[in-house]
Amino acid sequence: MKVYLSVDLGAGSGRVIAGKSDFSEGHSDREYLELEELHRFDNNNVELPGGFYWDVIGIYRNILEGIRVGIDKYGDSVQSVGIDTWGCDYGLVSKNGNLLGIPYQYRDPRSEGMAEEADRLLGADKIYAQTGISPAFYNTSLHLLAQVKANSRALNEADRLLFISDLLAYWLTGEMATERTIASTSQLYSPATKDWAWDVIDGLGIPRAVFGKINDPGTILGTTRDELEGQIGTTGLKVVNSPQHDTASAVAGIPIGASSTNKDAVDVWISSGTWSIMGVELENPILTPEAQQAGFANETGAENSIRFLKNISGLWMIQECRRQWMGEEGEDYGYAALAQMASEADSFTAFVDPDDPVFSTPGNMPEKIREYCRKTGQRVPDKKGTILRIASESVALKYRVTFDILADLVRENLGKELGKVYMGGGGIQNLMLTQNASDAIGREVVAGPIEATSCGNLITQMVAMGDLKDLEAGRELILRSNEINNYYPQGAEEWAQQLDRFKTIINQSN
């Protein structure tokens, strides 16, 4: 048996997961990937005088603890470790290798007004044409621009910029490099040249010197530092640059195309969780004005593919409703109970736009949904099940709107049609939303695995270590090892009629 360790860091929690597989020569069809959670910990931003920051030292300490648990349990069977995180946030490192200040959290307000300043300096169209990324408050480019405007001492003294995953990997190995998928989220990377977007960097006044070597996903960065032996129980453990952006790892972990019958079609993936991300895997970016206007981004994936994608609100509204009701009533509503309440409610009573800014912040989500219905002249829901059903059906219809735009862009730029939809991530445990996705889009949905991010992280390590041939072989391993469910569209005519009504309502709101 061989064991690989996946460090999966989200904006609220982190985990170290062991991936176990028995690679028996000549019996590849019998190989399975078994996951085991070794260590889980909270990962919350900290508000201090001066802004919002990450407790990056605490994160690192918990990573060491998770590795130690894995080494204690599996010893020499542990082959490597890989890290994936959220995108965009970074640390600045001095020439002597010291961290210059605590890394800011992407919601820190220092980026306010920076999108307008970047547009004034370069123009949003030029930035998109070079980076394939539209302005957003969390862009690395805007946070660095804020430091430029503030004449930041840390930026002026920095020798290197390392994204959070790169920084943690540096502390493990002593090696500095930037992994490509995490760089591609920054609005400072060119998916066309596969290098830093130097014209954008220069135009924003960011010093070139802080940008270093870019590693492909699947590169072995180095081995753990000897000084860590007392903390993790071993030396020389290989550290692999898995796709370090968590969505890139999630997409790698979804067995896209595994059951396709039309090889000429472009299959669609959805990474489903608090937020959903819909996209396709391409060889080259789509950098047209139409793609920019539609809000699609071009990010790098495993094996240096292009993840052409758009963010959509996912389970956020449902999760926030649950949190509100638990706070009001003190009852712990499980997600299965919420889904049951929704399934018993009447269908299509009202719709909301899940991506309307009013829903983007925490706080009394049920009332926000009711108020949206009042404002748009719809029936105002009074029961929990009805509110939940409105949220689920609205998210599914937003999937359909996005799917149709994606279909047009793929047809216009590639001359191809879209195929099946593959969904992975924790959101697929909401069976109603997953079925609604199939119903609204009108396509078969292949759902699984739940742990898509960790699976993608792990199979990339296996390829790097020579135990799997390539990403395709890894996805076949995931397919054999996980429960994969197929959902087929129901009530297509009724959903098509409701789509027109949904578009009218969200356009009215805008």
- Residues serving a catalytic function are 246
Please answer whether residues 186 and 197 qualify as being in contact, where contact means their C-beta atoms are separated by less than 8 angstroms: no
Place of tokens 């920084």: 167
Q: Tokens standing for 143? A: 């946070």
For residue 52, what are the β-bridge partners?
A: 47
Sign of CA dihedral 194, 422, 40, 340: positive
CA distance 224 to 494: 57
- Our CA angle for 355, 504, 276, nearest 5°, is 25
Q: How far from the centroid of its chain's Cα atoms is residue 447's Cα?
A: 17
Place of tokens 């219905």: 373
Place of tokens 């489903």: 272
Please answer whether residues 209 and 159 qualify as being in contact, where contact means their C-beta atoms are separated by less than 8 angstroms: yes
Q: Tell me, what amino acid is at 487?
A: Y
CA distance 99 to 60: 13
The tally of CA atoms less than 13 A away on the side-chain side of residue 313 is 22
CA distance 129 to 191: 10
Within the chain, what is the greatest distance between any pair of CA atoms?
66
Please answer whether residues 491 and 498 qualify as being in contact, where contact means their C-beta atoms are separated by less than 8 angstroms: no
Instruction: Return the number of other C-beta atoms located less than 10 Å from residue 113's C-beta.
Output: 13
Strands (DSSP E) contained in 94-218 are: 160-163, 178-179, 189-190, 195-196, 214-215
Q: Tell me, what amino acid is at 463?
A: V
Please answer whether residues 133 and 297 qualify as being in contact, where contact means their C-beta atoms are separated by less than 8 angstroms: yes
Q: Tell me, what amino acid is at 228?
A: L
CA distance 188 to 205: 12
CA distance 317 to 73: 39
Q: Tokens standing for 113? A: 């007004």
